[in-house]
Amino acid sequence: MVFSAAAGASPTIGAIIGFRAGWGVGNALFIATSLAVIVASASGGFAGAIVLYETALGVGIAMGPLLGGILGEISWRGPFFGVSALMAIALIATVVLVEKTPKPPRKTSLSEPLRALRHRGLLTMALTALCYNWGFFTVLGYAPFPMNLSPIRLGLVFTGWGILVALFAVFGAPMLQGRLGIAKTMYLNLAAFAAVVLVIAIWTTDNAVLIPAVIVSGIFIGINNTVTTQAVMTVSPVERPVASAAYSFVRFIGGGLAPYVAGRLVIALNIHVPFYIASGAILLGIVILASAHRLLRDAERVQAEQIVASAGSGPAGADAPAAAAEPATALIPVEGTAPQPASRPSQGVILAAIDQSQVAGLVTEAVARLALAEGQIVHVVHAQEGVTAGGFGVDAEDLDAARDVVRTHLDRLAARHVPAEGQVLLHAADHGGAGRLIAEYATSIRATTIVVGAPTHGGLPALMDASASQELLRHARSNILIVNPEAPPAPVTANGSVAPAMAQGSGSEGA
């Protein structure tokens, strides 16, 4: 707010540049804190809150250029004062409406993000993003000059661009990632973006080509902003806020240098050269990404931490089948409090997918009935979700809290004399990612049945967020039983098993 107003009141271009630097500091602080505040303040569940957050970002990106164009028609100072007024509204709303959030349990030192760059996967993704940002900010920062349009027309061009950025960041990116995976989506998207920037380079002086190409570039920028952030969170071995800080530090080096270098290249050579270099930088990002393809592919596989309910015996029992004895990587036993029943012959594996909702208790109850009737072992699985939006990521749930969730349900099963073990699945970037991880884990242990609660959010969040249940149904190779708390009680046979009316459906056909 302060630096925007100061830039609008500046008498010289040099002063505007200086105040823009202060503006950048405010922007960085907003990016680094707003998502964490949203998650901490979302009393009704963070899924809907994140959708609203991403929607608000998208509307701002789309409408900001138009408002800037309108104000720019009045005076060149208008956009600066407009930003200051909007930030004043945001500041007052935050002070009045947002409750205090607790301080994080552990302080993060300034050096942690830099030290995190020693991890090859994180550094590779950050360098890929640097190259991408070089192309992005060349288009954003220098493409308006050869257009030579009035402020309002230029605002309309970038409003169209912003609408595509918003739509494909929220809708397009999750859809492509779900179908192709992170790596393939990034390769395809970067290649398409490089091709569009090459078109801009060739026809820089032809507005009939330049303007549509700039608007279309919003598709690939929106996809990349979302998918690259997901990739960083997937490959990073450190906490999400630290990974986000390290990644942003490197990528914005490209964003900061690109417009300045573009101007120098135009003076030294011609107006086409900056865009040729931008297209080349994006292609270089593909090469850098390919150098860590195996890391990214491995990171997309399910990773888990094992939770067990007793100190004295193995989680699966001595007679567990070989398939159940091959859990995913990074298994660290954590002891529960309830006694473990004596092991008994097992006829297969049932997977109970639980979360922190009240429905999870019903899932555990249904699983206990099935396991006792069929002599099966139960794997209690909980995906520790993260949240990514606006190029930043935070942990939606503390790892200790995730362990406690699994341990609680293990103890309930142990009290029913049901042999069980638990897993916390790591690196679930969102609800859809959680569903895919659960399906992959079920395949790895050859689970015959997956028991999951009915989706707990609908409406706009369900429309805009790839839900765990949707992705689970799409990717599962096991039978799926959905426990709906609003359904009438299922008939139970004399031996305690669920009667056929409580139907199961295959993962490929839905349930």
Q: Quote the CA–CA distance of 499 and 325 in Å, as a whole number.
A: 30
The alpha carbon dihedral of 357, 358, 363, 364 has a sign of: positive
Q: Which among 297, 320, 342 is the end of a domain?
A: 297
Q: What is the pLDDT of residues 20-53, one digit of tens each?
A: 999 988 888 887 788 778 777 766 555 667 667 7
Q: Quote the CA–CA distance of 241 and 406 in Å, as a whole number.
A: 24
Instruction: Examine residue 373 and state whether it is found in any structural domain, yes or no.
Output: yes
Q: Given this model, what pLDDT does residue 42 score?
A: 67
Residue numbers of the domain that contains 338: 301-506
Q: Given this model, what pLDDT does residue 509 score?
A: 37
Q: Given this model, what pLDDT does residue 218 score?
A: 92
CB atoms within 10 A of CB 437: 31
Same domain, 341 and 425: yes
Cα 155 to chain centroid distance, Å, stands at: 30
Report CA-CA distances (Å) from 83 to 3, 88, 257.
10, 9, 24
The alpha carbon dihedral of 13, 15, 17, 19 has a sign of: negative
Same domain, 269 and 346: no
Judged on CB neighbours under 10 Å (0-12, 13-18, 19+), 95 is exposed
Q: Given this model, what pLDDT does residue 203 score?
A: 95
* Residue 375 near residue 346 (C-beta atoms within 8 A): yes
Report CA-CA distances (Å) from 488 to 45, 107, 176, 237, 494.
26, 49, 37, 45, 19
CB atoms within 10 A of CB 507: 19
Q: What is the DSSP secondary structure assignment for residue 329, as one 8-state letter? A: B
Q: The CATH number of the domain where 28 resides is what? A: 1.20.1250.20
Cα 306 to chain centroid distance, Å, stands at: 24
Q: The CATH number of the domain where 397 resides is what? A: 3.40.50.620
- The residues pairing with 389 across neighbouring beta strands, listed in sequence order, are 392
Same domain, 249 and 307: no
Average pLDDT, rounded, for the chain: 78
* Residue 279 near residue 191 (C-beta atoms within 8 A): no
Instruction: Examine residue 150 and state whether it is found in any structural domain, yes or no.
Output: yes
Q: Is this prediction's pTM over 0.75? A: no
* Residue 159 near residue 62 (C-beta atoms within 8 A): yes
Q: Given this model, what pLDDT does residue 310 score?
A: 42
395-434 as b/e, with b when 16 or more CB fall inside 10 Å?
bbbeeeebbebbbbbbbbbbebebbbbbbbbbbbbbbbbb
Instruction: Examine residue 511 and state whether it is found in any structural domain, yes or no.
Output: no
Same domain, 290 and 330: no
Q: Quote the CA–CA distance of 376 and 367 in Å, as a whole number.
A: 10
Q: Given this model, what pLDDT does residue 315 score?
A: 37
Q: What is the pLDDT of residues 422-446, one digit of tens each?
A: 888 776 666 667 777 888 888 888 8
- Nearest Cα neighbor of 235 from 181, 182, 289, 296 is 296
Same domain, 305 and 293: no
Number of domain units in the chain: 2
3-class secondary structure, 44? coil
Tokens encoding 138: 């060349």
Half-sphere exposure of 222 (CA within 13 A, CB side): 30
Tokens encoding 464: 């805009």
Q: Given this model, what pLDDT does residue 342 score?
A: 41
Same domain, 17 and 131: yes
- Nearest Cα neighbor of 281 from 299, 304, 303, 265 is 265
Q: Quote the CA–CA distance of 170 and 78 in Å, as a whole number.
A: 30
Instruction: Examine residue 419 and state whether it is found in any structural domain, yes or no.
Output: yes
Same domain, 183 and 320: no
Report CA-CA distances (Å) from 118 to 123, 124, 127.
7, 10, 12
Same domain, 266 and 393: no
Positions in the chain short of pLDDT 50: 310-345, 460-465, 499-511
Q: Quote the CA–CA distance of 138 and 142 in Å, as a whole number.
A: 5
Q: What is the pLDDT of residues 73-128, one digit of tens each?
A: 999 999 999 999 999 999 999 999 888 877 777 777 788 888 888 888 889 989 99
Same domain, 289 and 312: no
Instruction: Examine residue 266 and state whether it is found in any structural domain, yes or no.
Output: yes
Q: Given this model, what pLDDT does residue 204 score?
A: 93
Instruction: Examine residue 104 and state whether it is found in any structural domain, yes or no.
Output: no
Q: Which among 297, 330, 356 is the end of a domain?
A: 297
Instruction: Examine residue 463 and state whether it is found in any structural domain, yes or no.
Output: yes
- Nearest Cα neighbor of 190 from 281, 300, 297, 296 is 281
Q: Given this model, what pLDDT does residue 319 score?
A: 36
Report CA-CA distances (Å) from 98 to 91, 302, 397, 475, 505.
10, 36, 20, 39, 44
Q: Quote the CA–CA distance of 33 and 13 in Å, as a whole number.
A: 30
